[in-house]
Structures are given as C-alpha cells and as structure tokens.
Structure 1
Amino acid sequence: MGPEPSPVEQGDARMKAVLFTRYGSPDVLGIQEVPKPAPGDKEVLIKVHATSVTSAECAMRRGEPRWGRIILGLRRPRKRMRTLGLEMAGEIESVGKDVRRFKKGDQVFGFAGFNVGACAEYKCMPEKGSLALKPANSTYEEAAAAVDGASTALFFLKDKANIQSGQRVLINGASGSIGTYAVQLAKYFGAEVTGVCSTGNMELVRSLGADKVIDYTKEDFTKNGETYDIIFDTVTKSSFSQCRGSLKKNGCYLPTTGLKNHFLMLWTSMAGGKRVMAGMSVDKNEALLFLKGLIEADGLKIIIDRRYPLEQAAEAHRYVESGHKRGNVVITVE
C-alpha cells in the first residue's frame, strides 16, 4: 500500500507526484495529486519529462543510513522530502519576475540535490541552482540520466583525484550509473583504464573504452599484484585497507559514500603518501556545462537499462535495489 493521500484545496492547480510518508520497501511509494508549485521571483517552474531512480534515493526511501535521518526526518520523512527525484530533464513552463538566466520554453537538465522532488510532473528550481540547457542531441531521458552519475564521476576523477594523462585508473562497479561514466571520463583524460564488473557486463564495459576488464566473480583485483594511481570505488564494495596494497606510492582511493571515509581522508592527508579522497559535489553547474559540451560532441555514451512510467516508480525502485542494473534506470513523466 502506498501512503495515504493528503487533502488538496479545491480549485488549486494540481499535479501527480510519487510520495512516501514512512520509511520502508518500495511498497511505501504511491502516486498522489498534490498542489502544483508556483515559482518564486528567482525560480523557474520545470515541466518534468524524465527523472531517474538511483541507489541513493532507494537508501533515502529506506531511511538509511540512520544518521541521514537528521536531514530526512527522524521517525518519518519530512514533508519536503516525501517526493524523491534527484535528477531531471524537462521544459521551463514559467519563470519568476527576476529570472534572467532562463526563459519559458528552454529545455533544461539539472540536479535537485537535497531539495529532491523531481519524481513529479512539475518541479521548481532556483535560477542559480544546478541547472543548464540540455544537450541538443539528447532526449529528455538521456539528459536526465546524465546528471548525477556523470557529474559525480567527473567530480571525483577531476576535482578530487586530479586525474592526469598516462595514469593507471581502476573503476570498481564499472557497469553502474557512476561507473559507466567514470570509465569514459578516465579515458577522455588520457588514463589507462581497468574496469571491474560481473561476467555479464564485461562487453559493455569494454565497449565504453576500458583497456582491461576484471570479472569480480573470478578475480579479486586487490590480490592480483597490479597497482594503480587511482582506485575509484563507485559502489563502495571495497575499503581503503583492502585497496592500499593496490595503490602506487602516492595513489588515491576514491569511495563515493561512507562517513568513515571522511575521517580516513583527514588522517591520510596528514600522513602523506597513499590517501583517501571522499566528499560530495553540491553545485553541479560547471559540471553540467562541461558534460553538455561533451555529449554534444558525441564524447559520452549514456547507458539506459530500463524506462518506467511515473505510475511504476515502485517497480523502478525494486529493480534498482536488485543490484543488477546496467547504467541508469529512468522514469518518464507523461
């Protein structure tokens, strides 16, 4: 059963949104009619055409990690967190009176971040939020799928690790949303790339440009004697202690999640040598402009595994949680 519908004032313009009022399995998600938002003076109203489902959103729906409930809501999701959706693509329907960066009719893609709410027919975004004109040669579904995974991969490889041409880079989880972009971006920056994935995804990872692919069901990359300048664990299935022996003298370990890794980052930065680089990208404007140019130059392939309509958001969450997705899972909004 989905959440109980909330009352909507008669006469208000309404829209459909996917809501949850308690933490739990995908069954807590349900479609509701809620008031359609109106943009403030410095906001734009986006008619959402596509959004996605990520592992991060599945964790938010479950209320995990527990310390994250400080933001999400301690016992149940806060009202403003009840509609998920981190990345989106759509058309600007209206703009606030002080908006200069965008105009009505602009096709955009962007990142809602802690503001969430893209899993709905409409979403308001600040004019200065993480938003850009979408790549001209991509569909709305492709543009939505390129926001978070690609910008996260870019942030870790370029901003955190300062990737250089000729370096040896290993991508763990190379067939996932972040991983498929990480392989391509590492090659773009001139690195020698090794991808780690399951047997069934090896050809996909090769097709993205990986120089070598390791099947994790048959080989443990931390025990094969190879060393790397960068180990990027996009799925956080390893640890710094496990990977330390596989890093070169001044090598860098990049985990995408884990509070422990932030403490390790501080410790290794003081100790010198092999180090952990953790963190998160909040403002994605610069990354979105870079990715837009790369996509328009056919320099980045977007992998979409499955598409679901808004009404099947729970099924999309269930599939993402199965751990078998390749690339991205998209929700199309009619």
Structure 2
Amino acid sequence: MKAIVQDVYGSCDVLEIRDIEKPATPSAGERDVLIRVRAAAVDAGVWHLMRGRPYLVRLMGYGLRAPRERVRGREVAGMVEAVGGEVTRFRPGDEVFGFCEASFAEYARGPEDRFLAKPANLGIEESAAIPISGVTALQAVRDVGRVRPGQQVLVIGAAGGVGTYAVQIAKAYGAVVTGVCSTGKTELVRSIGADEVIDYTREDFAGGRRYDLIVDTAGHRSLTRLRRALAPRGTLVIVGSEGRGRWLGGTDRALRAVLLSPFTGRRLRGLIAAERLEDLEVLRDLVEAGKVRPVVDRTHPLSEVPEVIRSLEQGNARGKAVITVSRDTA
C-alpha cells in the first residue's frame, strides 16, 4: 500500500510517499479494526511528530532518535475493511471516523474504541477533519474554559483548525464570541458564527473590552497582553505549544501561566488535549444538530502531504486541510 513515511526527524523533506506492507488483518482474539482510509486530516501534532520538537515529544514515547511510528497522520475517516473476532461495534462496510495513528496511508488499523460511525449529515472528507482539532476545542471551551451562556468569549487564531471549532462550540453553548484573525480570514470567521471579528493587523484585541474566557490557539501572544484583555474573574486557556525552544517549545508559556494564576485572581490554564471517544461523540451530536460544521480549506492527494504540512508550518491555515487518499489510488 502507499503511505507517507519518515525514517528520521526533520523538516517536510524527510517525508516520502512509499509502498509499504499493509497492516495485518485483525485476528479472532483482537478488538482492532482495519480501516480502508478514504480521508485523513492534518493537525499541528503531525508537525511536532515530524520534527521531533519539542524534545519533550520524544520523551513521551514517540522515539528518542527516530520516529517509532514511521507513518504520519492522526485523524481518519474511511470504511471498515475487516474486524477482529472480539469487535462488537463495527462490521466490514461501516463508515467510521476517529483517532488513528499512521492515517496517511491506504489502510490503517486501531482499537475499535478509537472510532465512531461518521456523522450522518457529513461526507467522509469533512468527517476526517473533526477528531483531533474538534476534541481539542471542545475541551478548551467546555472543560477548561467552563463556558456559560451569555459570557464574552475571545478566540485567538479563530480561522485555524482548532479555532474554527472553538468559535462554533462557544456559540453552541450560548456565549457571545469574538474571533481574532488576519485580514484575509475575517469573512470566514464571520461565516461560522462569530458575533464580532478583530483583524489583528489593524486592531489590538487587548485595547478595550474584557472577556470572561480567552482561548488562545495562536501560540505567541505574551501573557501580559492576554491578561489585559481578561475580565477580573476570567479564564485564559492556552492551547498548543507553538514556540522555538528545543526542549519545551511553547509549553513554557502555559507553565508560566499556571504558576502565575494564584497571584492574579484569574484562572490561567494550559491545555493538553486527551483523545476521548466520549468527547468525539459530543461533537458528532453537535454536528448532526447543525450547530458545528468542519471548515475544510482544501483537499489534497496523499502525495501532497509534505506541502500541506509546510503550509501549516507557515501559518496559512484556514480551517482544516484534508488528505483524500482515494485520489491517489482510484
């Protein structure tokens, strides 16, 4: 089968499309499912795993000197090809989506409790764009942010993969939402329900109004500026770890926020998202109710994965980029 493979950590140049062995068919005593991949999405975590940066990633079990899992990709949507004998929730032919390592390939395999039946009102490509970014946004807004109806919520990086979900989820929970993005993305952010949009190239989000909840997905604003925009009893949630430090990347900013929090009267928090199936189910319900919809910028064939990740690295994200594997293999 064809797959995007890397043998060493590095830039997008280490990614190659190759023919490799197909994952083994699950046996009678296993709870795994084999997925015929039809679409897979690109998230920021793919970039970190490709680079092996920050080095903390390597210490978390992904491989010290080289990637332990050589095929990239973490989100998937496709058709169940085969199931292990202990699988009870799926059968061959079912369309599913979920969390799955090594999804930039024609086939991928994982435990059945990592997948759900895809949303009834979405195509396979949109379904692939939900799992990582959608669940991250849900945990930032609902769990850490503790959003409540009527609150003023600011989403920084509102046009990105996590940001587009954060705007819609906050609206679904009854908040008044302001999105922060660049000039070329303001109409996109309005189109997904933001009550107001701030173009950060022309206006300082910290220059006036105070917000009950700030979700920062952009990764480079100083804590001082973020606190200026936060209401006296407000909550700041820092999502992701963008930064240039080799060991901690941008996680040091979240750590400083947590240490500072007791002295400010505000809740300053960092988020390390967990891939929970129950949260993915909440998102599917929101999607099927028409309250949340994935924003898919473009679809790309498997061969373009390196260029897609390079574009993400350069900050060009408009929602999610989706890899349509079937285009390479039709």
TM over 0.5, shorter chain: yes
State the identity as a percent: 44
Pick from 190, 193, 211 the counterpart of residue 195 of structure 2: 211
> What's 2:275 paired with?
283
> What's 2:42 paired with?
53
User: Is residue 50–residue 144 contact of structure 1 (8 Å, CA) maintained in 2?
Assistant: yes
SS at match of 1:58: helix
Rounded to whole Å, the distance in 1 between the matches of 2:120 and 2:32 is: 23
> What's 2:322 paired with?
330
> What's 1:122 paired with?
107
Structure 1 window deviating more from structure 2 (164-173 vs 202-211): it is 202-211
Pick from 177, 181, 197 the counterpart of residue 181 of structure 2: 197
Rounded to whole Å, the distance in 2 between the matches of 1:145 and 1:266 is: 30
> What's 2:305 paired with?
313
1:41-80 equivalences under 5 Å are 41-70=30-59, 71-78=61-68, 80=69
Rounded to whole Å, the distance in 2 between the matches of 1:217 and 1:196 is: 10
> What's 2:74 paired with?
86
Pick from 142, 163, 174 the counterpart of residue 179 of structure 1: 163
The alignment of Structure 1 onto Structure 2 pairs a total of residues equal to 313
> What's 2:18 paired with?
32
Pair 1:298 & 2:290 matched: yes
Rounded to whole Å, the distance in 2 between the matches of 1:54 and 1:205 is: 19
Rounded to whole Å, the distance in 2 between the matches of 1:61 and 1:126 is: 23
User: Is residue 258–residue 270 contact of structure 2 (8 Å, CA) maintained in 1?
Assistant: no
Rounded to whole Å, the distance in 1 between the matches of 2:204 and 2:49 is: 30
The CA deviation string for residues 198-221 of structure 1, in whole angstroms up to 9 with x for no partner, is 011111111111111111111121
Deviation at 1:97, TM superposition (A): 0.6
Rounded to whole Å, the distance in 2 between the matches of 1:104 and 1:282 is: 28
1:5-20 equivalences under 5 Å are 15-20=1-6
Deviation at 1:325, TM superposition (A): 2.1
Where structure 1 has 5 or more consecutive residues not aligned to the other structure, the ranges are 1-14
Rounded to whole Å, the distance in 1 between the matches of 2:218 and 2:229 is: 17
1:233-244 equivalences under 5 Å are 233-244=216-227
> What's 1:100 paired with?
88
Check 1:31–1:246 CA distance in 2 against 1; reply closer, same or farther (3 A cut): same
Deviation at 1:262, TM superposition (A): 4.8
User: Is residue 205–residue 213 contact of structure 1 (8 Å, CA) maintained in 2?
Assistant: yes
SS at match of 2:299: strand
* CA RMSD between the two structures: 1.7
Rounded to whole Å, the distance in 1 between the matches of 2:135 and 2:4 is: 25
SS at match of 2:20: strand
SS at match of 1:180: helix
Where structure 2 has 5 or more consecutive residues not aligned to the other structure, the ranges are 242-250
Deviation at 1:181, TM superposition (A): 1.0
> What's 1:4 paired with?
none
Deviation at 1:271, TM superposition (A): 4.5
**TM-score, scaled to structure 1:** 0.89
Specify the code of the residue in structure 1 equivalent to 2:63.
G
User: Is residue 87–residue 144 contact of structure 1 (8 Å, CA) maintained in 2?
Assistant: yes
Specify the code of the residue in structure 1 equivalent to 2:77.
A
Rounded to whole Å, the distance in 2 between the matches of 1:52 and 1:146 is: 8
Check 1:69–1:283 CA distance in 2 against 1; reply closer, same or farther (3 A cut): closer
SS at match of 1:91: strand
Rounded to whole Å, the distance in 2 between the matches of 1:128 and 1:239 is: 39
User: Is residue 240–residue 276 contact of structure 1 (8 Å, CA) maintained in 2?
Assistant: no
Rounded to whole Å, the distance in 1 between the matches of 2:227 and 2:308 is: 36
User: Is residue 132–residue 275 contact of structure 2 (8 Å, CA) maintained in 1?
Assistant: no
Rounded to whole Å, the distance in 1 between the matches of 2:275 and 2:6 is: 26
SS at match of 1:315: helix
